[in-house]
Amino acid sequence: MHYYLQIKNRVTWPNAKDDCERQGAYLVTIDTEEENKWLTETFLPVWGPGECSTWWHCCSHWIGANDIEQEGKFVWTGNNRDVTSYSNWYPSEPDNAWVGDCVQICHGGVWGDYNCDGGTFSYICEKD
């Protein structure tokens, strides 16, 4: 069984990671399409028609995927496993724009890479 906690405070990815770890958890690892859908429906805001002028304007939460150690090799912070068994990248992602080493979950459950220190977002912690 896994437990999830949404933190609505907006922080950088490293601060989100550290906060989850202080709580004995880790930034969420998403293993299946079903889990991605559940997280999206449970924690992401509902955006009205026309609110997301571009898909990345409606990215709201950090998740645990990152390629900090090796460019292009995304791993999960919780277990250091490769992000290969399941991913839900937006079609043009990951694109490493703005040195995008950390990952956000966005409107519709798609993922995008973003600069780890370049923005502040809410985040989801997970604990086994």
| 3-45+57-127: CATH topology | Mannose-Binding Protein A; Chain A (3.10.100)
Average pLDDT rounded to a whole number, residues 107-124:
93
pLDDT for 98 equals 62
> In this predicted structure, which of 17-21, 38-42, 57-61, 88-92 has the lowest mean pLDDT?
57-61
Asked if residues 28 and 126 have their Cβ atoms less than 8 Å apart, the reply is: yes
Where residue 10 falls (left for φ over 0; alpha for ψ -120 to 50; beta otherwise) is beta
Furthest C-alpha separation in the chain: 39
Model confidence at 59, pLDDT cuts 50, 70, 90, reads confident
> Which is higher by pLDDT, 84 or 20?
20
pLDDT for 55 equals 66
Q: Give pLDDT tens digits for 60-93.
A: 899 999 999 999 999 999 888 999 889 999 998 8
